[in-house]
Amino acid sequence: MAKTKELSKDTRKRIVDLHQTGKSESTIGKQLGVKKSTVGAIIRKWKTYKTTDNLPRSGAPRKISSRGVKMIMRMVSKNPRTTQGDLVNDLQRAGTTVTKVTISNTLQRQGLKSCSARRVPLLKPVHVQARLKFAREHMDDTAEERENVMWSDETKVELFGINSTRRVWRKKNTELHPKNTIPTVKHGGGNIMLWGCFSAKGTGRLIRVKDRMNGAVHHEILSQNLLPSVRALKMKRGWVFQHDNDPKHTAWATKEWLRKKHLKVLEWPSQYPDLNPIENLWRELKVRVARRQPQNITALEKICMEEWAKIPATVCANLVKTYSNRLTSVIANKAYVTKY
């Protein structure tokens, strides 16, 4: 069937003008030589949109029906690890043949995009309950109570760690210019283990752990560095010490030393790294160290010490000040891992 010729703007305007004078659709059609159905369509369009101009077309019809979209969303919601190939096969069994590109476009229109799944600690039901209990118990802690906590932990700093993911601005064919490359060595070039602590008043001591970290080594680190850090930061009486439930932290030697010193320890549930604000401080340190690009282990240790001392007290204070946000996130996320 041949495509009918589109009416000119003048003809469409005359149809509306004649309609406004009170003439019927049949009369207008006969007078202008236009089908009655076309006249009616022009008048309805004018009444609805106050224009007779062509409206934007919707394009080709979707290959996936609204029912198919709902099925895809239901499957992805149930199992986010579902692949595009799985969805193509499921739709084909339902009678709809589409490509992976169509699946991808459909998901994107629904606000979804393919991302790498983040690795997080395994949370068993007992961990979930403990996290919820901790968050609810400490939601109402006062600012003064939070400011009187000494946070601690260990971290590993790679010689060529964060550097490996950095981007550069360069011109074509300059990818091998020294300024545009990241030096690497086999096996990552080595790393160092650090122990550190901080409070709302600033960073405490940072120590390189040269021996294999165990209960005895951890006990020695605490006995030589914890109290000096507390005194240097001028923490108030009744301060609380925080460390996680790693076996080296709960070793008898460490527990006995803490007991003899009459130190109050914050009860800490397992699998709780996202609620220890020192993790954010470690990230801050590693970013600062990466900018200086140390070339060997000796330089790495020296730069770590220098950059740790440079971290402003305001950064530490803000981590503690916003601690309630972490607890709120845990509760809102039903105790599962949060963005922190």
Mean pLDDT to the nearest integer, 277-282? 93
Percentage of residues of the chain with pLDDT beyond 90? 33
Closest CA to 332 of 174, 139, 185, 171: 139
Mean pLDDT to the nearest integer, 272-293? 89
CA distance to 117, 121, 262, per residue, from 128 (Å): 20, 11, 30
Q: Examine the pLDDT at 164 and tell me if it is beyond 60.
A: no
Max Cα–Cα distance, the chain, nearest Å: 107
What is the reported pLDDT for 166? 57
Pairing of strands 240-242, 149-158: parallel
What is the reported pLDDT for 159? 85
Closest CA to 158 of 10, 314, 37, 301: 301
Q: Which residue has the tokens 């495509």?
A: 3
Mean pLDDT to the nearest integer, 182-211? 84
- By CB atoms closer than 10 A (0-12, 13-18, 19+), residue 36 is middle
Task: Give the separation between CA 61 and CA 59, rounded to whole angstroms.
Answer: 6
H helices within the chain, ranges in order? 9-20, 25-32, 36-49, 66-78, 84-93, 100-109, 125-138, 143-147, 215-232, 252-260, 278-292, 297-310, 313-321, 323-332
Which of 86-120 are b and which e, b meaning 16 or more Cβ less than 10 Å from the residue's Cβ? ebbebbeeeebebeeebbeebbeeeeeeeeeeeee
pLDDT tens, residue by residue, 300-328: 999 999 999 999 999 999 999 999 888 88
Arithmetic mean of pLDDT over the chain: 85
Beta bridge partners of 158: 191
Q: What's the token pair of residue 2?
A: 């041949």
Phi, psi of 204 (to 5 degrees): -90, -150
What is the reported pLDDT for 163? 45
Q: Structure pTM?
A: 0.65
pLDDT band at 3 (very low <50, low <70, confident <90, very high): low
Mean pLDDT to the nearest integer, 91-105? 85
CA distance to 151, 253, 304, per residue, from 206 (Å): 12, 21, 9
- Strands ordered across the beta sheet of 191-199: 202-209, 191-199, 149-158, 240-242, 264-265
pLDDT tens, residue by residue, 61-76: 677 788 888 888 888 8
The DSSP element (H or E) to which 203 belongs, if any, is: strand 202-209
CB atoms within 10 A of CB 237: 5
